[in-house]
């Protein structure tokens, strides 16, 4: 017959299991509620001015868009415009990962939305170690967009150090994925701190509320033109992008 001490131990274990089960149930219930809210979120239009002359449109997302109902994103169509691609934040600095990345990465592909993953660069950190953080977490396969480096802050360092660490990240990512990475930044940051040393890399440029194209001298392939868009399946506002080219040009930049 179990001793009194054994009975107390068993009761304690049962209580712990019950608390863990209730907490897990509450957590999954909360996540399901957030997903249901996103799935029920619909808009009559994108809520922004869409620039003319572009046929391929996309968005970029991170944890700030919370849980996304990607099937609703795919299904939305306004004036023959649909979301064809999505960039999503994967990593930041040396050790951080976006908490929504794994889900976004899988669900976008499940819903036939072409996907790309970006790393948010911390200029005061080692570029190679940041690339290793990205490589460890991002499995790019044929048909995905190339890796993306989001560089838009000096973080207190001189421009020379910024460029040195950016080159480390780009070299490590290109060496691993065997494809030239895309640089994301805004017009002023590129011209003031990056410049001609990086002109050989494809550019995804941010320049909001311009009517036809970003005002930058060098060539670019993606343009982030607005940060106030609305898309079915996403509760917060979202950034909108266009690709400069047709479907054949778009296909040519995908990872082979």
Q: Which fold has domain 41-253?
A: TIM Barrel (3.20.20)
Q: Are 253 and 148 in contact (CB under 8 A)?
A: no
Kindly provide the b/e burial profile for residues 26-51, where b requires at least 16 CB atoms within 10 angstroms of the residue's own CB.
eeeeeeeeebeebbebeeeebebebb
Residue from 71, 152, 174, 227 carrying the catalytic annotation: 152
User: Which is nearest to 231 in space by CA: 103, 109, 57, 32?
Assistant: 57
Q: How many CB atoms lie within 10 A of CB 210?
A: 13
Percent of the chain predicted with pLDDT > 70:
88
Q: What are phi and psi of 97, to 5 degrees?
A: -130, 140
Confidence at residue 9, expressed as pLDDT on a 0 to 100 scale = 56
- Least trusted range by pLDDT, from 4-18, 77-91, 101-115, 162-176: 4-18
Residue from 60, 132, 150, 165 carrying the catalytic annotation: 60
Q: What is the pLDDT of residues 122-167, one digit of tens each?
A: 999 999 999 999 999 999 999 999 999 999 999 999 999 999 999 9
The DSSP bridge partners found for residue 117 are 88
* DSSP calls for 121-162: --TTS-HHHHHHHHHHH----TTSPPPEEE----TT--HHHH
Please say if the pLDDT value at position 27 is more than 60.
Answer: no
Please say if the pLDDT value at position 26 is more than 50.
Answer: no
Please give the model's pTM, rounded to 2 decimal places. Answer: 0.89
Q: What are phi and psi of 12, to 5 degrees?
A: -65, -45
Q: Are 65 and 236 in contact (CB under 8 A)?
A: yes
Q: What is the mean pLDDT of residues 64-80?
A: 97
Is residue 22 very low, low, confident or very high in pLDDT (cuts 50, 70, 90)?
very low
Please say if the pLDDT value at position 8 is more than 90.
Answer: no
Q: Cα separation of 171 and 165, whole Å?
A: 10
Q: What are phi and psi of 118, to 5 degrees?
A: -120, 155
Please report which helix (H) or strand (E) contains residue 221, including its range.
Answer: none
Residue 152 among the catalytic residues: yes
* Tokens 């033109």 belong to residue: 225
Most confident by average pLDDT, 1-5, 10-14, 66-70: 66-70
Residue 60 among the catalytic residues: yes
């Amino acid at each position: 017959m179990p001793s009194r001490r054994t009975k107390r131990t068993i009761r304690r274990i049962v209580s712990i299991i019950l608390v863990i089960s209730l907490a897990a149930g509450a957590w999954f219930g909360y996540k399901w509620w957030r997903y249901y809210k996103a799935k029920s979120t619909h808009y009559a239009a994108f809520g922004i001015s869409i620039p003319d002359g572009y046929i391929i449109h996309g968005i970029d997302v991170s944890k700030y868009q919370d849980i996304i109902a990607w099937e609703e994103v795919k299904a939305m169509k306004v004036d023959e415009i649909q979301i064809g691609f999505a960039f999503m934040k994967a990593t930041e600095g040396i050790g951080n990962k976006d908490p929504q990345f794994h889900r976004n990465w899988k669900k976008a592909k499940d819903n036939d939305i072409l996907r790309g993953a970006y790393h948010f660069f911390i200029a005061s950190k080692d570029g190679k170690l940041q690339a290793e953080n990205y490589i460890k977490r991002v499995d790019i396969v044929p048909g995905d967009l190339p890796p993306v480096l989001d560089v838009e802050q000096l973080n207190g360092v001189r421009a020379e150090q910024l460029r040195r660490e950016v080159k480390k990240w780009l070299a490590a990512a290109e060496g691993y994925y065997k494809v030239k990475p895309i640089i994301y930044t805004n017009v002023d940051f590129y011209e003031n701190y990056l410049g001609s040393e990086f002109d050989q890399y494809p550019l995804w440029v941010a320049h909001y509320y311009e009517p036809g194209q970003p005002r930058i001298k060098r060539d670019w392939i993606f343009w982030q033109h607005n940060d106030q868009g609305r898309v079915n399946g996403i509760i917060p506002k979202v950034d909108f992008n266009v690709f400069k080219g047709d479907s054949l040009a778009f296909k040519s930049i995908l990872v082979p």
